[in-house]
Structure 1
């Protein structure tokens, strides 16, 4: 399209040639298909994932689609509709009516949505080039929405069995770090994170490999703090990022799809930004004063509860949590308890882990 040219639009006051009538019919069918698919996805985000941010994104896409179509000639769409003459009504594909889970329903709807938007874009070029460009923009939005839905659903599935998450840092261990890590695993820790700031890269990699092996033997998840490169080389299950680390979207490009990405947040604003980047879980804290990582600001259970209202992603409560206050953060909406000193600084880390795990599983 040349710069300055007015977008071409067919007027309903002119005689519509047969080929344009066909175009209107295709547009009508695909508008209905896209709108319905967007609603199916919205219901999944709202009632299955319980994710208000994703549900709102689905709703916004659906409403933008409606506004774009309303700016065309609605009467041409309606007049073109021919349900009885649709030769595809009785054509079905193998497995079309087979769905094993609600996630399968949403996945199929997401595919229909992008396909319908592509058809609206291509046939819309015959009617209104401005409309076609809006459909292109919506199509890319649908691709991103599908990505975020799949990441959220997969994160919930993979984190479903994680209830107790223990950070291992040698400086706070009462015994050799590997012995403490093994004791935590025996006590029922579902996930261990290696957090070491002062090691050389070579020593950090060696330690990461050892922790990965310990976790693997016990069926636990292993996360490496701050270092995606070390996590990948060591074969860890994921990496945990702080507010000053490389953004999630950039890390996602450099690690295998199977790997988890978690993000630390301390405020509602940070959590909102993190959720938009679609990590696999969001850590919120500190819940209380923490000896592990002192903070000038304590987020508290109120912040956790507010973040819970924003997302269906797994929420990890972190910072100053002991067995005496664990129930408080669970009641605020935490899916996972994350502790450090409450386990690794204890004389009996295995027993300390068992006590916390009992609370986490309630």
Structure 2
């Protein structure tokens, strides 16, 4: 099994940003993509971290992602707005949409923004977390090309359909839930191929629909829930409604595959951002007191017999991983390390420093 190599976060982030600019991204796109990828790599969401840098550079080069988009924002009725991302890299579109949702929430109590014509956005939690850091409850989702079967289905139907929520908590890091509605994301399958690891049981099927733990044989993911996978499939349907019918963009089954042969045209994906200002509904001290007690209660809950550890609030694992990685370095898989070395040589970039 191949082992990842660790790099310091302080050197990895500028390398990623410089590589994006060298590859044709404008400053705003490079900054947003770097922020979101580093969020994922710091918090342990390696499938959506810096390992996606070569992919993003490839789709900017082919024109599938507009490296210098002109985002257009239109306020709609009440607390709604529409963002036309002009084929932008998804990170830029989602940060911009969430910023507008937060701005509207501060005026109206709730802000909702649909996103049109964007591309892959990376880890949805990056944008929900940002909203929580601004004092709002944040939600972000987007569909993607079909990779997940329906419950009892064989073929790819929904995307991995991520759902991310963040909620502010006084004096501590936010409550953060970031999950795919598939058992695992497809990018984790690709990561396991690079690392030579075996997949967990019951998360993917091969080309004829047989359950497999071989990442090289995996073709279609299963919805989260195992025997009760209809729950994951139902949540994926909710993501689909917010991302396609509500935005006018394509269904997951109609989107060009992320890793398919490039058409040279934007994939025109859809997404949805929501922000809620708690103070519009209840005095801040009451919200803050209840949230604090809630998290304290979770962390004080008794573990079940044989449990691997103490119950944690959503986000607790991520904050612990982030602290460890900022101290000991961010692990990068061998395939991505090789790609970074090639980028350094091609563009004359300063390579990141090994931890």
Q: TM-score, normalised by structure 2?
A: 0.22
More strand by share: 2
More helix by share: 1
Q: TM-score, normalised by structure 1?
A: 0.22
